[in-house]
Structure 1
Amino acid sequence: MKGQLVTAPTISTDIVTSSEDPFGPEVLHDPLPFQARLREAGPVVYLPTYNVYAMGRYSDVHAALTDWQTFECSAGVGLSNFRKEKPWRPPSLLLEADPPFHNAPRAVLSKILGARQLHTLQAQWATDADDVVDALVSSTLEFDAVPALAEAFPLRVFPDAVGIPHEGRERLLPYGDHLFNAFGPENALVQRGAGTIGEISGWVNDQCARNVLTPGGFGAEIWAAADRGDISHEQAPTIVRSLLSAGVDTTVHALAAVLYALASNSEQWVLLQSDPNLARRAFDEAIRLESPVQTFFRTTTRDIRVGGTLIPQGEKILMFLGSANRDERRWQNPDAFDLTRDPSGHVGFGMGIHQCVGQHVARLEAATVMAALLKRVKTIEVNGPVTRHLNNTLRAWESLPMRVTLK
């Protein structure tokens, strides 16, 4: 890849190999050139730095995501192999479990977080979004959209919905940041959170207890499912923790992604103004384009050939979701943010039985923020250099300066 590819013989075929480090600062800051080289190199590329096989094309990533029998999650969805290493935290009962152990927790959360159940939150979240946007634009027309909107709104509504107290919820961001960093190698990004993760993780675990959670919230509903026997009482706090682990940072960076896309493409903002019903499409198109969750790992349960390459049983597969979502073989003009495109089929939320169970929550949060902006804001634009927040797994944002004019 760009002068770094060699052909290394395997037992039955030749395999393309790359010495590039996908978790290096240069690639994490701008993964697109590396991902383009990955797709061009072939269906599978071996990365000897981490002894993993990488996939960057849409068809191969999609196939691996949907074939949990061959590409398992229960050995961990990070670089660490749970068959050989002890996880630093108890594995997720959803993301890091396969059937039959995955089935009951998934069924419980699918019901609690389903679109019909979220309908009851829609009016309150719309009011909350109006409050956040009104307070913001009443004080200034130039602001950093990351803390002012992308962080402020999810940290207000999602912990409320789960049912945890207001005090301390700002810890959810560094907790999620470390969690997603830990899916990658033990590099400086992991080390930066190592000193505080013990205390923060302890606080998160405390919030999962039945007596802490507000009645009627997502967390209380999970405990009620345990009372009914749908899951065990031992599983309940772990499932609540899964919500707090994956439900904040991902939405923060997804919301920043759609705000950046709209602010960077004035014609698409005008199109959204003319048809506010495009808000959810705008969010999914931003997910496709930016892929806040860039990578996940799987582990092969048997020898499998992919595009002529033999991948042995027990090997880690690094799937580049962000690369698949920009694959020219699947998407026309993939680098464009286009509200006339149907982005369904993107793998930004995963695919198959492990597809993000909270995606309807994220869509509702984003739609209510966009609706609040559409009421008050006439124009929206980027107002200075944006800054990325480097993470081993997430395409994240540190700062997004914006300027708006009001109607």
Structure 2
Amino acid sequence: MTTFVSSTDVPVSNADPFGPDILDNPLPFQSELRDVGPVVYLDRYDVFAMGRYEQVHAALTDWQGFQSAAGVGLTNYLYEKPWRPPSLLLETDPPHHDAPRAVLSKILGPRALSRLLVSWLADAEDLVDSVLEAGTEFDAVTELAEAFPLRVFPDAVGIPDEGRDKLLPYGDHLFNTFGPANSLVEKGAPRIAEIAGWVDAQCARNMLSDDGFGAQIWAAADRGDITYEQAPLVVRSLLSAGVDTTVNGLAALLHGLARYPEQWARLRAAPETLARTAFDEAVRWESPVQTFFRTATRDMRVGGATIPQGRKILMFLGAANRDPRRWENPDDFDLARNPSGHVGYGMGIHQCVGQHVARLESEALLRALAARVESIELAGTAKRRLNNTLRSWESIPVEIRPR
């Protein structure tokens, strides 16, 4: 990263955080970003950036100063039209954010989800058994991290079986569009109209089962908690952000456990108590959502710098989650750590409303694995899938020894 001090005492960088080299290995750039200062100006995109935990956490929790309603990507909705209707969860602020958030918080709360644990454990056991029957070497991404969420989450939402293979490319393109219009966005463009049309169609009341999350969202519209116009957009929020993030969180978790055999042994000894801690540590360590933008609602003073009103701020969640000012030995995957407070789910009123669903999926899968697998090791080189926003995986070859 090339930097210099400008006349306003804000370090300036000409680095491209959305370039393939940094997307493939963001850690050196993120380390330098943190070291240079609390705020850096990225002249390539005319945006400000934060990589330290203190400033990222503060911006995430200050929705009055750093708004989401202008978009959580590079596109500034104050001046540009978004390619799809904005998310009622991610891309609105109070008061427009309040009702949809309250509805989903109740539907996806820990108490409401507890009824799913037994059935998801059975699903996880069935999946793991079928994977192990096929052999001891397999791809942890396709066979577990992708397969399990795609098996249980669409059922929980209540969408039909046909077409579920579109969910991953839809999420991949959506998260790419939060960055610049580069080759990653161009790659998904030819199919996005078809895929987005399919996703939108699944959000209609008549497409959903009678007992899933989607039906509960429409029932909230019947009660007047949200409007009928809002209901399909709230369902769409689940399908947009509820799959890829969990898939990559599970992939990061399995990669961490394969790289650190002592942590797998620790997890196997107490899966009921450590499963959710392990997933949160993986989300801190790898941060499936690496970046999100906010927009200054007024001239904001941060770390001695002034961010002018209406300007975009790129928050590096992944950098904040490895900030040594906040975490001891942040580059280690360590289940003895208390990872609470990480910003991998965001923070404040826009914190991921589906995080309890992701934790439950992780708990079910880890408990099934812990009961059946003695050891798990890397069997080859893991490969990344580049995405402008996600820390994503193409494949993680592993070899296991059954119990």
TM-score by length of 2: 0.99
Once the two structures are superposed, the pairs formed by residues 145-156 of structure 1 within 5 Å of their partners are: 145-156=140-151
Partner of 2:225: 230
Give yes or no for the alignment of 1:371 onto 2:371: no
Distance 2:255 2:37 in 1: 31
Give yes or no for the alignment of 1:343 onto 2:339: yes
- SS of residue in 2 equivalent to 1:381: strand
Distance 1:133 1:322 in 2: 30
Once the two structures are superposed, the pairs formed by residues 329-340 of structure 1 within 5 Å of their partners are: 329-340=325-336
Once the two structures are superposed, the pairs formed by residues 3-402 of structure 1 within 5 Å of their partners are: 4-9=2-7, 13-276=8-271, 277-402=273-398
- SS of residue in 1 equivalent to 2:232: helix
Q: What are the Cα deviations for residues 57-112 of structure 1, in whole angstroms up to 9, with x where unaligned?
A: 00000000000000000000000000100000000001000000000000000000
Distance 2:160 2:186 in 1: 29
- SS of residue in 1 equivalent to 2:258: helix
Distance 1:82 1:139 in 2: 49
4+ residue stretches of structure 1 with deviation over 6 A?
none
Q: CA deviation at 1:138?
A: 1.1
Q: What are the Cα deviations for residues 101-147 of structure 1, in whole angstroms up to 9, with x where unaligned?
A: 00000000000000001011111100000000000001110000111
- SS of residue in 2 equivalent to 1:62: helix
CA RMSD between the two structures? 0.5
Structure 2 residue runs of 5 or longer lacking an equivalent are: none
The amino acid of 1:342's aligned partner reads N
The amino acid of 1:310's aligned partner reads T
Q: How many residues align?
A: 402
Distance 2:105 2:188 in 1: 31
Distance 1:139 1:242 in 2: 35
- SS of residue in 1 equivalent to 2:18: coil
- SS of residue in 1 equivalent to 2:116: helix
The amino acid of 1:28's aligned partner reads L
- SS of residue in 1 equivalent to 2:394: strand
| Percentage identity across paired residues of the two chains | 67
Structure 1 residue runs of 5 or longer lacking an equivalent are: none
